[in-house]
Amino acid sequence: MKQVWVILVREYLEKVKTKGFWIATLALPVLMLGMMGVSAFLGIRSQQAEADRPLVVLDRTGALGEAVVERIGAAGYATELLEADLGVEEMDRRVTEEEVEAFLILDERTAAEGAFVYRGQDSPGRVRSALLAAIVGEAALENRLAGAEEAESLRALVRGGRLEYEAVGGEVAEVARVAAKAHGMIGAVLLYMCMAIYGSFVLRSVLEEKRTRIVEVVISSVRPWQLMLGKIMGVGSMGLTQLAIWMLCVALIGTAGISFLVQVVPAADTSMISEILPSVGSVALLAVFFVLGYFLFSSLFAAVGAMCSREEEAAQAQLPVIALLGIPFVLQMSTAGGASFAWMGWAALFPFFSPILMYPRAVDGSAPVWMVAASIVLMVAAIFAMAWLSGRIYRVGILMQGKRPSLRELYRWVRAA
């Protein structure tokens, strides 16, 4: 195993020492931090602008103004209630001179139908329009129902039905259930991207050495299976290093973000943060599926690189491997809306589908423990089988040049090896 270790270290250092590795590794957390900073800056600027220019309410009904102002203020907007007899021309002047941002006119139609006028230099936008319409409509409805019997139940009925989810077989908090679903989906996307990216790294590494004839020198000192295993483990170690750096940066950014939120908004409720964070077990399981899935697919990518001589041939030959990654990814994304099929749980036992299909089911608890354990065992067995098959293809193909072999020729390679 000494030769394998030497190749592993060489592949690892060759990838980690490049500028591209560090640019790609640091670009993601820097981009996340930049987006958070821009979002926070725009939010603060928006709050300052709203504080400087309030949203004014002209109440000509005499009954709705206070309720509307209270609800708009609770939504986070600076607002003010002015006298109803103030003219529209005077308010237009204040808007033009940027004393106020805009003003609402509540009249008889507002009390009867919930219709109101918004006057300002800029359109309120979809989000603010929907918010103001809901606030004014609710205030008008409460005013109409103020003297009715069972007013509160009528308000709830007018707002619409409400679905309350109850888990069969145990009580699960809604926040924890949604967080588990989100963790599973994020993990599936991450596994798909990592296996595809790092697997292609193995393919390109094999193809580069084969094209430059370096492998003809290396193969005189080590066995082909040792070279293949060293490459796979070296690139995999680089991938784990990159993932570890990303997770560390996410943890640091998240901690800083929570501290910043507490300082800026002291009344912010941070009690649910612990419920939406992934558990140590889910992170460890993600690492297990990443390692097993990476070894399973990288052996295929290494075999594809060994049987090809040009980049164009490799791009076509790797399509079946990409399909093995893409099919479970598409199936998993189809469950994002909540719908699923019973047979997908059994399909997750197929070793090539297990990383992407089984991990989300293991995290959200929809797959029993024995099924998760069975998928891991089957993946380990598939790794040994694919290592044996890919190793034989690699042993012959690594020194072959010229036309890409057919399926019959690949069969002959396996038998000859």
Domains contained in the chain, number? 2
What tens digit of pLDDT does each residue of 278-334 get? 778 888 888 899 888 888 888 888 888 777 777 777 788 888 888 888 888 888 888
Residue whose C-alpha is closest to residue 233's, from 186, 173, 302: 302
Q: What is the rounded distance in angstroms from the CA atom of residue 73 to the CA atom of residue 143?
A: 19
Residue whose C-alpha is closest to residue 281's, from 187, 201, 402, 206: 187
**Which token pair is 100?**
């106020």
Domain-embedded: residue 11? yes
Domain-embedded: residue 45? no
Would you say 246 and 29 are in contact if contact means Cβ atoms under 8 Å apart? yes
pTM, two decimals, is: 0.63
Q: What b/e readout covers 165-181, taking b as 16+ CB neighbours within 10 angstroms? A: eeeeeeeeeeeeeebbb
Would you say 206 and 311 are in contact if contact means Cβ atoms under 8 Å apart? no
At 225, the pLDDT band (50, 70, 90 cuts) reads low
CATH number for position 132 = 3.40.50.800
Residue whose C-alpha is closest to residue 360's, from 381, 383, 382, 329: 329
Domain-embedded: residue 395? yes
At 175, the pLDDT band (50, 70, 90 cuts) reads low
220 vs 290, residue with greater confidence: 290
Alpha helices per DSSP H over 212-318: 214-218, 224-264, 273-276, 280-307, 311-317
Q: Are strands 79-82 and 55-59 parallel, antiparallel or unpaired?
A: parallel
What tens digit of pLDDT does each residue of 180-217 get? 788 888 888 888 888 888 888 888 877 777 776 666 66
Query: Residue 146 pLDDT more than 90?
Result: no
**Which token pair is 256?**
């800083």
Domain-embedded: residue 267? yes
Q: Given this model, what pLDDT does residue 171 score?
A: 46
Q: What is the rounded distance in angstroms from the CA atom of residue 337 to the CA atom of residue 344?
A: 15
Q: Are residues 145 and 196 in the same domain?
A: no
Element (H, E) at 416: helix 407-416
Q: Are residues 336 and 212 in the same domain?
A: yes
Would you say 286 and 359 are in contact if contact means Cβ atoms under 8 Å apart? yes
Q: Are residues 315 and 208 in the same domain?
A: yes
Would you say 69 and 58 are in contact if contact means Cβ atoms under 8 Å apart? no
Domain-embedded: residue 142? yes
Domain-embedded: residue 158? no
Q: Show Cβ contacts of residue 291 under 8 Å, excluding neighbours closer than 6 positions.
A: 236, 240
Q: Are residues 59 and 147 in the same domain?
A: yes
Domain-embedded: residue 307? yes
Domain hosting residue 125, numbered range: 52-153
Element (H, E) at 384: helix 369-397
Q: What is the rounded distance in angstroms from the CA atom of residue 326 to the CA atom of residue 297?
A: 12
66 vs 338, residue with greater confidence: 66
DSSP 89-101: HHHHHHHHTTSSS
What tens digit of pLDDT does each residue of 381-414 get? 988 888 777 777 777 766 666 666 666 777 676 6
Q: Are residues 384 and 290 in the same domain?
A: yes
At 51, the pLDDT band (50, 70, 90 cuts) reads very low
One-letter amino acid at 245 equals I
Q: Given this model, what pLDDT does residue 377 score?
A: 93
Domain-embedded: residue 41? no
Angle between helices 19-52 and 224-264 (to 10 degrees): 20
Q: Are residues 316 and 269 in the same domain?
A: yes
Q: Are residues 215 and 116 in the same domain?
A: no
Q: Are residues 193 and 144 in the same domain?
A: no
Q: Are residues 191 and 147 in the same domain?
A: no
